[in-house]
Structure 1
């Protein structure tokens, strides 16, 4: 899976917002507000981390168990796929 290049993450005060790039802004209506954990996952997805790698990284960073981290990762990825922000590879 890969985040489409036409989206970027912006931090405004305590908020993380996913926005389309300027040239895509008229075509893409999707914006998302992320929490701190989701922003952490976003940065690692930009570096091509796999779902398993994201799960381990999240568990290590926030001290959560693997099952809880995996659930969080799956929900976040599903949200990005549904919003067409990431592309899933077969």
Structure 2
């Protein structure tokens, strides 16, 4: 039997912050369209971050690494250190 993961409120809060910034760009609200838009605008290579990874981060299932946070800050068009300040209490 697979053990169910415990809910982690801190990861959920980090995911909410990332999602808030993604939706704040006024792009189509889907994650897939966000990634396609970022690829088309040259912010992202196709293999840099997967849809599944973004989904797991936004849903609070995954704590993003520092390189991933730096990439996300770039994609979200926000300062990396500002993003770190926002999520600092949840790390």
Q: TM-score, normalised by structure 2?
A: 0.33
Q: Which has the higher contact order (CA 8 A, sep 6+)?
A: 2
Q: TM-score, normalised by structure 1?
A: 0.33
Higher-strand-fraction structure: 1
Higher-helix-fraction structure: 2
